[in-house]
Amino acid sequence: MVRRAVGLGAVVVILILIILGIRGCLNARKERSFENYASDLTAIAAQTKQLSSDFFGRLMDPGNLTPLSFKAEIASDRGTAAELDARVHSLDTPDELDGAQSELDLAFDLRRDALASIADQISTALGDEGSGDAVEAIAQDMRSFLASDVLYARARDEINAVLQDEDIAASVPESTFLLEPIEDWLDPLTISGDLAAVAGGRQATSGVHGLALYQTTVTPGNVALDPATPVTISGNGPYELDVQVQNQGDSAESDVGVTFDLTGGTQTISGDATIPRIDAGEIQTAKIPIDPSPPSGEVTIEVTVQPVLGEQVETNNRSTYQVTFP
């Protein structure tokens, strides 16, 4: 009986040791899973930071890049964003982090899709015809970057909280794609000014460069618009915007883009035109048809003169008007 009791006790001890060993292996495996996940995500965040720095650095200072090489670089950024997105989706995610991983997937989807859209729009944005709409689309893509940053920040907070609860000596870093100042990158006027340095692959000539939106008139009826005072149009269409642009610099400017966006009810109408040349101090008029005809009632019209290369002050390049059509 004694031998049996001793043998049974030995078996129990062995079983306990086996259970503890298995549990220790499982705990070690779980810890390695969290650590590997954090390490992989940290590497992705570092490469994403480099992508953001390269992309926005190129927009702010294209250097000697020609439009063709600039577009090639943007296409390369597009490919890098797609690769990073695929890596995020293939992360070996611990079950405790499934919710945060879903937000990470969406964040990197937004970054991938925004860069793909910008790559698709960049040729038109650097040209004359349709450049205003293309720049507006790029500004919307910048909002996708902002949304991705919010999603990543929420996921990061959740991941780091779980890692801390699990006593894992690891954490994941921030990943902010949209650079400061955020307001500038959401403004089509600022984006257009940055792209002006790329268009034509030219450098700004010496001297002062600057355009101003001088006056906007609706025809027929020659109704002058005032940003501070709503106006009512009495004449019948077809309508046209006559936009006077003044060259306030001391150099002639060429291929000056002028755009408008009209919003009323559920309808949005856009149009653009190009002024071939404006000499220093001169005023030229861009005539832009409002097509299709605007809806009856009050609408908002935003008119923008696209900045030229070397322009430093852009606050007088845009006006917004409240107009009522019959």
pLDDT per position as a tens digit, 12-24: 556 665 565 555 5
Give the confidence band of 279 by pLDDT, cuts at 50, 70, 90: very high
Least confident piece of the model among 73-82, 124-133, 241-250: 124-133
Instruction: For residue 310, tell me if it sits in a domain.
Output: yes
Which domain CATH number covers 233? 2.60.40.10
Q: Which residue has the higher pLDDT, 96 or 131?
A: 96
Q: Is the pLDDT at 132 greater than 70, yes or no?
A: yes
182-211 pLDDT, tens digit each: 998 998 888 988 888 786 444 556 678 899
Average pLDDT score, the chain: 88
Looking at residue 190, its pLDDT comes to 87
| pLDDT given for residue 5 in this prediction | 59
Is residue 1 included in any domain, yes or no?
A: no
Supply the pLDDT for residue 239: 96
Residue 218 sits in the same domain as residue 190: no
Q: Is residue 307 part of a domain?
A: yes
Same domain membership, residue 218 and residue 144: no
Question: Bigger pLDDT: 77 or 308?
Answer: 77
Assess whether 222 and 136 both reside in one domain. Answer: no
Band of residue 267 on the pLDDT scale cut at 50, 70, 90: confident
Mean pLDDT on 80-97: 96
Domain boundary among 180, 201, 222: 201
Poorest-pLDDT segment among 61-70, 143-152, 279-288: 61-70
pLDDT tens by residue, 16-57:
655 655 555 545 567 889 999 999 999 999 999 999 999 999
Using CA atoms, how far residue 267 sits from 217, 232, 291, 292, 319, in Å, is: 21, 19, 12, 10, 20
Q: Does 263 reside within a domain?
A: yes
- Whole domain around residue 261: which residue ranges? 211-325
Q: Looking at the predicted structure, is the pLDDT value of residue 285 above 60?
A: yes
Q: Are residues 177 and 217 in the same domain?
A: no
* Distances, alpha carbon 233 to alpha carbons 218, 296, 323, in Å: 8, 10, 7
Same-domain check for residues 187 and 219: no
Q: Is 4 exposed, middle or buried (0-12, 13-18, 19+ CB in 10 A)?
A: exposed
Sequence-distant (≥ 6) Cβ neighbours of residue 300 within 8 angstroms? 262, 263, 264, 320, 321, 322, 323
Are residues 128 and 170 both part of a single domain? yes
End-of-domain residue from the set 201, 219, 237: 201
Which of residues 24 and 290 earns the better pLDDT score? 290
Q: What is the pLDDT of residues 208-233, one digit of tens each?
A: 889 999 999 999 989 999 999 999 99
| pTM for the model | 0.72
Q: Are residues 248 and 167 in the same domain?
A: no
Confirm whether 5 is domain-assigned: no
Number of domains within the chain = 2
Is the pLDDT score of 309 beyond 90?
no
Residues 58, 173: one domain?
yes
